[in-house]
Amino acid sequence: AVAVDEVLVARMGAGRGALWALGAAGASPAERILATALAAHLGSPTAPLVAHVRAGKSSWGEVLRDAGLTPKALDGLLRRLVR
């Protein structure tokens, strides 16, 4: 998890405080990656995205669809963000 967070900070511009909050909320490394990418795409904070999914209000697939991201588009977004 530490290595994931370091990449998210160094390559994707994630805030350490936001990542700490996600970890404290029980977000897995995969959820932290996805939430950080979605937050960058949508221009919104990460915590509400994770809380929405964790509360059972929607799935990650639904969040991605609502954000207009297909699996291929998500791959491209992640590649652009980590450059």
- 51-to-2, 6, 21, 74 alpha-carbon distances in Å: 21, 22, 11, 20
Give the per-residue pLDDT at 34. Answer: 92
74, 64 contact by CB (below 8 A): yes
Predicted local confidence at residue 68, as pLDDT: 92
pLDDT for position 71: 82
Split the chain (83 residues) into runs of 10 and give each run's mean pLDDT.
89 90 89 92 89 92 92 90 86
pLDDT at 8: 93
Q: What is the pTM of this model?
A: 0.86
Give 24's contacts (C-beta < 8 A, 6+ positions apart): none
Per-residue confidence (pLDDT) for residue 47, from 0 to 100: 87
The predicted structure's pLDDT at residue 65 = 93
